[in-house]
Structure 1
């Protein structure tokens, strides 16, 4: 099974499992063994799925400012967890391909495998929720038709992205491309780098 197919199946599993409870605070239960790629992919999409619904909540036009701030801080925390998990997945691929000697003409890719999988996780969420819109029985036909057209575009995008991910991993495996991962270094979350945070410590 290609990595993109495995990842897509896990992401779809996560989204289905989340919607059994359909609650941002439902317990996280990862069915895969620790330290496996499957575990990391499941965790990654779980974070994305929780954050997807947090983003819905914070856009309530009637939200109380203090509640909106609480959601914003939870989203910031989730974003950091998302980034940290992506970097762990890239570390997995770095170890996995550590035996490969890149060719002299090997090139680096614009994004790492894990960040491409991050995009795939979000795309699976878009597909799930867009499909839901096409199945609404009380929706206007124009709404359903519009959402169906968008769903078809998302499905084509999914196919293209899966192919690109598998081609990238094959290129790394054969030495045509090589991995070089830079940590995101989110300065606004770092108390030593965000001027508001380090000023507050004085």
Structure 2
């Protein structure tokens, strides 16, 4: 049901494929269930990463930054909604021991962190091999790449251990709603105050 190695492999393959196809979805897996949600969630992170870069371009017009900010809010909401959907999907298929110790981070949140690490690894690898960069820059990024790979390996291992403990009744998790307020016209005074 949940396998960190399969998830990280999908994230790496999808990241490479999306960069080749210039952000077009086009990543066909035939996946369903948790993996389909993880794919959609990684797509949201991919789009969010690249949308945030648009606001960092030197000299970009204020109107473009405003457009990008609205797009970032929508993508971030989608990303968080998909994290919750992954956790709900897992919870619906589990019989967790209600007295098992509670884990503070959910599998969905861990998969989200793995997704971000996949993007960092991809882009750091690009910098480690960029011909126009200095030798020092490339070397520094080789070191960063090793650290990112170690962090991902640690996190993937923690996800597998958590999952094993949940299945064994030694740990449990519950859904933690993000309750984002910035996109809700009834909760954000910056939005409802203007209407």
Using structure 2 for the length normalisation, give the TM-score.
0.94
Q: 5 Å matches for 1:1-202? A: 3-23=3-23, 26=24, 28-33=25-30, 35-97=32-94, 99-102=95-98, 104=99, 106-201=100-195
Q: Does the 8 A contact of 1:30 with 1:39 survive in 2?
A: no
- How far, CA to CA, are the matches of 1:61 and 1:152 in structure 2? 30
Q: Does the 8 A contact of 2:18 with 2:27 survive in 1?
A: no
Q: Please list the CA deviations of residues 89-114 of structure 1 after superposition, one character each: whole Å capped at 9, or x if unmatched.
A: 001110121x3434x4x211121110
Q: Please list the CA deviations of residues 29-49 of structure 1 after superposition, one character each: whole Å capped at 9, or x if unmatched.
A: 452447521211111111111
- Which range is displaced more, 178-187 or 78-87? 178-187
- How far, CA to CA, are the matches of 1:173 and 1:58 in structure 2? 43
Q: Does the 8 A contact of 1:109 with 1:178 survive in 2?
A: yes
- How far, CA to CA, are the matches of 2:96 and 2:189 in structure 1? 42
Q: Does the 8 A contact of 1:11 with 1:124 survive in 2?
A: yes
- How far, CA to CA, are the matches of 1:75 and 1:125 in structure 2? 16
Q: 1:13 and 1:34, CA in 2 relative to 1: closer, same or farther beyond 3 A?
A: closer
SS in 1 for 2:130: coil
Q: Does the 8 A contact of 1:30 with 1:43 survive in 2?
A: no
| Greater than 6 Å deviation, 4+ residue runs | none
Q: By how many angstroms is 1:174 displaced? A: 0.8
- How far, CA to CA, are the matches of 2:31 and 2:6 in structure 1? 17
SS in 1 for 2:175: coil
- How far, CA to CA, are the matches of 2:40 and 2:54 in structure 1? 21
Q: Does the 8 A contact of 2:114 with 2:152 survive in 1?
A: yes
Q: Does the 8 A contact of 1:86 with 1:118 survive in 2?
A: yes
Q: Does the 8 A contact of 1:87 with 1:114 survive in 2?
A: yes
**Matched pairs, number:** 195
- How far, CA to CA, are the matches of 1:2 and 1:80 in structure 2? 24
Q: Does the 8 A contact of 1:15 with 1:125 survive in 2?
A: yes
